[in-house]
Structure 1
Amino acid sequence: MKTILSAGAALLALAAAPAWAQGPVSGTLTNAQTGTALPGATVLLLDQPSLGTTTDASGAFTLPAVPGGAHTLQIRFVGFETISQPLQGQAGPQQLAPLALRTARNLTPEAVVTATRANERTATTYQNVSREQLQARNFGQDLPYLLDQTPSVVTTSDAGTGVGYTALRIRGTDGTRINVTLNGVPVNEAESHGVFFVDLPDLASSIQSIQVQRGAGPSTNGAGPSGPA
């Protein structure tokens, strides 16, 4: 009787072994087009989403304890196509073949940027400042100081260097009555109606052109009624 019980216990232990079999799964991830590593990609098992990880700076990843049996490994990264492939868990470490993601191609609708600007048919005094003119004056100072040579524009700076809290006046009108828009979008502060150029560092490097209107112009956005830039 004792011998029979011992044999039964041994068979039970052997049957349970596959259920508890697990091991780490490692691999590497690269960009299919360039061959460079993709750090920060998400790696997980679809049937066990809590068992996931991310790739390190070299594109390597390790799932520490993958249970035995069939699984589906999914890898996704922003801007790349998601891939899924079968994975068979086993006891002991497992090294996957190198993986690669292809860049995702998304067709988006046309983007049109519009803005209200004066032209030769508009009864408004204005001046256009080109990108070349801005870059010739751009030494790291805020935008008001790049417009100080524009007629009827007066600039001020709290620190006296043109960096930090700077402001401008157009024909004596202060910043709370000057409508400033970027691509037609008003940037005047909703409560004070002013514009804090200190919050827009190095804006001049991204500007294609600026139009300074003097007097009541065609602008309809923002809080200020006149002098939009």
Structure 2
Amino acid sequence: MGATEETQLAEILKQSVIKGDVKATEQTVNKLLAMGTGARKIFELLSAGVLHVGEQLSNKEAFLPELVVTIDAFKKGLALIEPKLKSEPKEGKPLRIIIGTVEGDIHNIGKNLVKTMLEVSGHDVFDLGVDIPADVFAAKAQEHDADIVGMSALVSPGLMSLRKTVEKVRQVRGDRTHFIIGGYATSPALAEELKIMYAKDAIDAVNKIHEFINKGGA
């Protein structure tokens, strides 16, 4: 089986998750595993399907029932690769990471994907939930001696809270804790202004954190 077939199966898997087709998702995951495709690559494909529907939901191009069946397909596919994910070599040393959606925002699809991806990568992840005030981020970062604080903001009102969170965490942690942000309301320009990391989606967030580790950032 060649690269072309693997590419075709990769697209079939993503579409199966998007459609919430559990049977097709499981069959395609098993075919990819039989081909020798890495569990992390399969996880990224499963995640890409959820991210696609999440973006459609934000744009009102899809609705909650579609997301529910998509996440069900994702979970069934994840169950097939989870043992392999946990046994694969991890990149760099494990980090202590605080994540949450900022105050004024209750979206959590991307955040939850990031949490899952970081956990299977071997990191200690403390998920604060949604609508989290800056003071709580700061207190938890100190309590857990966090290496990184990850924040999600999908709506513009959350940006004021995001800025306040960076300020509050820096007051108690100095330069011992770093930041990564993501979500529709954030941007590379904002990250550059605040001198923090930016991720365009959940997969990019994990990749950025691994790059950070490889550069000796923690």
TM tier relative to shorter chain: under 0.3
Structure number having the greater strand percentage: 1
Q: TM-score, normalised by structure 1?
A: 0.23
Q: TM-score, normalised by structure 2?
A: 0.24
Structure number having the greater helix percentage: 2
Q: Which has the larger radius of gyration?
A: 1
